[in-house]
Amino acid sequence: GMCFDALGNLLACADGDTEMWLIPAADVARGSLANKQVLFSEHDGRRLNGPNDVWCHPDGALYFTDPFYKRPWWDWDKMPQDGQHVYRRSADGKKLVRVVDSLKQPNGIVGTPDGKTLYVADIGDRKTYRFAIQPDGSLTDKTLFCELGSDGMTIDSEGNLYLTGKGVSVFNPKGEKIDQIEVPE
């Protein structure tokens, strides 16, 4: 998963290296990784499972999912963290905290442009949840949004959520499916 921050930098989940990268806007324009920065790769002194999807809050904080998908080139077989969770990195980059630990296998993630709502797909449980983002960045009011998980998602200017899987399923802000976009192989 990837997203752009307000400055045009690309934030990229490098799950193969269990890292989160920032690729400066100038490098993005050149198609270069020469100046990529590793923002983080651990939580509480242990390697992350493998950051999978990321969303940049309007204040600059990052929310990301950290499921475990064993990669054949890794020299470890066990999940480094004690579960598959959702994390938040503060806008100043000083704090990385776990904000959701109640999902089976979080994957897709996106928030609303106003920064008040976060959607997280639990691909392992085939559900997508909505959370209220509090002023301190914590999440409350976990609510089932729809009975469909997703490998990735995005949101449009009207608040419709697009979930990937078997094609693209489109849900309105009430969680009602309003369209299905087929994607032939």
pLDDT in tens, 154-183: 999 999 999 998 899 999 999 999 999 999
Encode pLDDT of 6-32 as tens digits: 999 999 999 878 999 999 999 999 999
Q: Look at residue 168 in the predicted model and tell me its pLDDT.
A: 97
pLDDT (0 to 100) of residue 184: 87
Instruction: Give how far Cα 1 sits from Cα of 79, 140, 142, 179, Å.
Output: 20, 24, 23, 23
> Which pTM was predicted?
0.95
